[in-house]
Structure 1
Amino acid sequence: MLSRFRAASVHAAPIFLDRAATLEKAISLIREAARNGAELIAFPETFIPAFPVWAALFAPIDTHDLFERMADQSVRIDGPEIQRLREEARANGVVVSMGISERSPVSVGGLWNSFVLIGDDGSILNHHRKLVPTYFEKLIWSNGDGAGLKVVETRLGRIGQLICGENTNPLARFSLMAQGEQFHISSWPAVWPTRRPKVGGNYHIANAARIRAAAHSFEAKVFGLVTAGVLGRDARDMLVDRDPAAADVIDGTPRASSFFIDPTGEQMGEALTEDEGIVYADIDLNRCVEPKQFHDLVGYYNRFDIFDLTVHRERLQPATFEDVVHRDPAPALPREGAENDRLTDD
């Protein structure tokens, strides 16, 4: 029999661009979810320290100070914030997925949109950098790599994850299916403006996430957890104070939702959209088995003699260094007749 467990999808706002305060809020939410029986707890896209929605609202030449704050408040994968989360996961015996804006170890302005998956023993199970920042996100984050395209084997089951628009990429999704994924986490921002509301046709992020999550769960026959951020009052007020014209866009842009999807693509229970909170679902991975009879895309329902996918799971580095050790030259051999010279000198 496969495992059964309770999962928690956190629907919350960070303390905008304040990693220390946001970390404390995250720890409080982890403890709350653990008290309510959750064994897996997932947080939204770049929860620490924030999602850079200003890149959709203001011209890049007017936001240098915000980028500098984002870089300053982003976190290192080996930094104290991740260490605190690892200790908290171990103390509560829970698996934690946390979205972060990650600082580069070699560039003060180099950032990635990342997540870290932490085991219930405090170990880092996976660390993924978003393959391609989407639309205005390119002004903030660099391209990631394939090193984190992994499904992790845990006592709860096989867990995979993609960030926001990556869930639109069929090859990225199939790479997780091909590793036997059973539980899929997708993380999203609170809002994603693409048009001014008065013009119409703005991107509806909640609907987009629902379509993608349902499609993946239906195709892979997996459970899906969708976790999305909330735009907090502190973020809204700071952006509107900067430019009052931003209020129409911020207030008129659809909000994201957090919810669960079953292996048939159906939503499980209610979704959270406007208000902060935690959505829970009781997961029974045995329900992934029956749908595999209908379409098993990594089993009988495929043609691997026709299709061939290769995934390069390499952590990219800006340079490769080869340290060359110079040894002292070998001592010269004595020349022929040197012994006789010494005898003569004596």
Structure 2
Amino acid sequence: MLPRFKAAAVQAAPVFLDAAATTEKAVSMIREAARAGASLIAFPETFIPAFPVWAALFPPIDTHDLFLRMAEQSVLVDGPEVARLKDAARAAGIVVSIGISERSPASVGCLWNSNLLIGEDGSLLNHHRKLMPTYYEKLVWAPGDGAGLKVVETAVGRIGQLICGENTNPLARYSLMAQGEQFHISSWPPVWPTRRPAGGGNYDIAAANRIRASAHCFEAKVFGLVTAGVLDRTAFEMMAARDPAAAEVLEGTPRPASYFVDPTGAQIGEALQDEGILYAEIDLNACVEPKQFHDVVGYYNRFDVFELGVNRRRLSPAAFRDGPPPSPPAPETAAAPAERG
């Protein structure tokens, strides 16, 4: 029998660009979910310290101050904020998935869009950096690497995670399927403007997320958890104060929702669009029957025709080889002269 458990999807706003306060908000929600009987809780994309929506609204030459604040409030994986989350997960006995803006230990200006999976014992189970920032996100974050493209065995099943637009990458999704994924977590921003509303054709993130979540769950025969951020009044007013036109864009751009999807691609229960925590009962045994129809990592493929290679090495700026210098070679012994007869 596969695991049965209660999962929690967070739809919430961070304390805008305040890593310490947002961490405490996350800890409070972890405790709340555990009290409600959840064994797993997932937070939105870069919940700590915020999603940099300003990159869509203002020219980069006008946002140096915001990048400085983002860099200052982004967190190290071995820093105090993540340590606080680990302690909270261990105390509550709950698996935690959370998006962070990650600082580089080698650079004060390099940031990654990352997601962490923390076990119920407080251990770091996976550290994934978004493979490619999307559109204007490239003005804030660097490309990640494949080191976090892993499915992790937990007490509640085999968990995989992808961040936002990575869920549009079929090879990234397949790499998780091929590792026996059973529960897929996708994390999303609070708003994603692509056009001024007056012209029409703005990106409908709610509809796009629904397509992607259903497609992955149907193809992989897994359960899905969709968690999205909220743009609160503080963040809205800060950006509107810079340029009143930003308020029109934000007000006219569709908002995402949080919800669960079953292995047939159908939504489980209602979606959550206001701030809060949404719960669902998950029975991974429901993943088995749909595999009879299509099992793309089992019998329903042609591995002699298709091949996928995935580089999961963690990238670093340099490889240092320290140690003592090599010993000098021993002097050669001169050969004795041959005797003459």
The alignment's TM-score, normalised by the length of structure 1, stands at 0.94
Cα distance in 1 between the residues matched to 2:206 and 2:196: 17
Alignment pair present for 1:252 and 2:269: no
**Corresponding residue for 1:193?**
193
Cα distance in 2 between the residues matched to 1:57 and 1:300: 48
Cα displacement (A) at 1:330: 8.1
**Corresponding residue for 1:7?**
7
**Corresponding residue for 1:157?**
157
Alignment pair present for 1:31 and 2:28: no
**Corresponding residue for 1:322?**
321
Call closer, same or farther: CA 1:330–1:50 in 2, change over 3 Å. same
TM-superposition CA deviations, 1:146-198 (whole Å, max 9, x none): 00000000111000000000000000000000000000000000100000000
The structure with more radius of gyration: 1
3-state DSSP of counterpart to 1:245:
helix
Cα distance in 2 between the residues matched to 1:73 and 1:88: 20
**Corresponding residue for 1:176?**
176
Cα distance in 2 between the residues matched to 1:307 and 1:328: 50
TM-superposition CA deviations, 1:51-71 (whole Å, max 9, x none): 000000000000000000000
1:48 maps to amino acid: I
**Corresponding residue for 2:289?**
290
**Corresponding residue for 1:82?**
82
TM-superposition CA deviations, 1:40-86 (whole Å, max 9, x none): 00000000000000000000000000000000000000001000000
Mapping of residues 217-256 of structure 1, within 5 Å? 217-256=217-256
**Corresponding residue for 2:211?**
211
TM-superposition CA deviations, 1:172-228 (whole Å, max 9, x none): 000000000000000000100000000101001111111000000000000000000
Call closer, same or farther: CA 1:323–1:278 in 2, change over 3 Å. same
3-state DSSP of counterpart to 1:208:
helix
Cα distance in 2 between the residues matched to 1:16 and 1:327: 54
Cα displacement (A) at 1:329: 5.5
**Corresponding residue for 1:339?**
none
> Runs of 5+ in structure 2 lacking a partner?
335-341
Moved more, 237-246 or 117-126: 237-246
Call closer, same or farther: CA 1:8–1:327 in 2, change over 3 Å. same
Aligned residues: 335
Percent identical pairs in the alignment equals 74
Cα displacement (A) at 1:327: 5.8
Cα displacement (A) at 1:97: 0.3
Moved more, 297-306 or 237-246: 237-246
Cα displacement (A) at 1:326: 2.3
Cα distance in 2 between the residues matched to 1:184 and 1:156: 12
Call closer, same or farther: CA 1:330–1:11 in 2, change over 3 Å. same
Mapping of residues 27-106 of structure 1, within 5 Å? 27-106=27-106
Cα distance in 1 between the residues matched to 2:80 and 2:304: 48
**Corresponding residue for 1:341?**
none
1:283 maps to amino acid: I
**Corresponding residue for 2:312?**
313
RMSD of aligned residue pairs (Cα, Å)? 1.5
TM-superposition CA deviations, 1:206-264 (whole Å, max 9, x none): 11111000000000000000000000111001111111111100111100100000000
Cα distance in 2 between the residues matched to 1:331 and 1:144: 47
Call closer, same or farther: CA 1:245–1:289 in 2, change over 3 Å. same
Cα displacement (A) at 1:328: 6.8
3-state DSSP of counterpart to 1:263:
coil
Cα displacement (A) at 1:323: 2.0
2:86 maps to amino acid: R
3-state DSSP of counterpart to 1:300:
coil
Call closer, same or farther: CA 1:183–1:325 in 2, change over 3 Å. same
